[in-house]
Amino acid sequence: MKTKPSERAVGAFEAKTNLSRYIADAGKGIVTVVTVRGRPAAKIVPADARVVTPEIDSEDLVERARAIRRRARGGSESLHELINTGRR
């Protein structure tokens, strides 16, 4: 696994065994990536680290949900008819 210069990767067992050390290092600005079977599973980061979240446009989100709902309706059968069909 490739890490940034200010990061280090450790396995889950190593992280569990030396958790207090990695927490102290996080206070110094060092990020620790915890891996499970070589794949990143978690990060131990400084408490003041900025978490970047994408901006969510609520109107866009509602429209996407409506589009999914329209596609899901599909046929003209009612829920009752679908349930009865499945019981045959």
Q: Exposed (0-12), middle (13-18) or buried (19+): which is 24, by Cβ within 10 Å?
A: exposed
Select from 37, 31, 38, 47 the least CA-distant residue to 1.
38
Average pLDDT, the chain: 84
Residue 44, classed as helix, strand or coil, is strand
pLDDT above 70 covers a percentage of the chain that reads: 83
More confident residue, 87 or 47: 47
- pLDDT grade for 53, boundaries at 50, 70 and 90: low
7-44, which class in CATH? alpha beta
Select from 4, 75, 10 the least CA-distant residue to 36.
10
Whole-structure pTM over 0.85, yes or no? no
Any idea where the domains of the chain sit in the sequence?
A: 7-44
Q: What is the CA radius of gyration of the chain?
A: 24
